[in-house]
């Protein structure tokens, strides 16, 4: 039994193991690829407050459209640390890049960002009888 568990853990942690697997989430889970955008301050971060109201409007627009699932600041002990992230429903990095490039925090050169794909694994819903 231990060898089965270790083999499974190894497969989950090995990117090549995912190449032929349509759903690399654990059994009983479903997966969807999302894009995670991590914002970090640039050298002009002291000007961020001037762009913040427009940044909030940008986030609201993309949340209402359904492209952006969630967004918020990173915190330590409940206090913002100057970084943030957003979870996009879109898996296509180029499409997300086109959206994020319009963010006032980016156009105002007060933030820089990085986009990574993320496999969101959720517990599969039981079939209704």
What is the per-residue pLDDT for 31? Answer: 93
Sequential pLDDT tens for the chain (129 residues): 443 443 344 344 445 444 445 678 999 999 999 999 999 999 988 999 999 999 999 999 999 999 999 999 999 999 999 999 999 999 899 999 999 999 999 999 999 999 999 999 999 886 666
Class of domain 28-123: alpha beta
DSSP string, the chain: -HHHHHHHHHHHH-GGGGTT-S--SPTTEEEEEEEEEEEEE-TTGGGHHHHHHHHHHHHHHHHHHTSEEEEEEEEETTEEEEEEEEEES---HHHHHHHHTT-HHHHTTSEEEEEEEEEEEEEPPPPP-
């Amino acid at each position: 039994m231990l060898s089965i568990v270790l083999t499974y853990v190894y497969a989950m942690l090995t990117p090549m193991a995912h190449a032929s697997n349509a759903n690399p989430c654990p059994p009983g889970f479903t997966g969807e690829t999302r894009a995670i955008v991590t914002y970090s301050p640039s050298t002009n971060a002291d000007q961020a407050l001037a762009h913040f109201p427009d940044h909030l409007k940008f986030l609201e627009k993309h949340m209402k459209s359904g492209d952006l699932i969630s967004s918020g600041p990173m915190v330590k002990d409940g206090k913002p640390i100057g970084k943030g992230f957003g979870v996009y429903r879109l898996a296509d990095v180029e499409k997300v890049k086109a959206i994020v490039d319009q963010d006032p925090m980016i156009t105002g050169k007060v933030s820089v960002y990085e986009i990574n794909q993320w496999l969101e694994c959720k517990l599969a819903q039981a079939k209704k009888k």
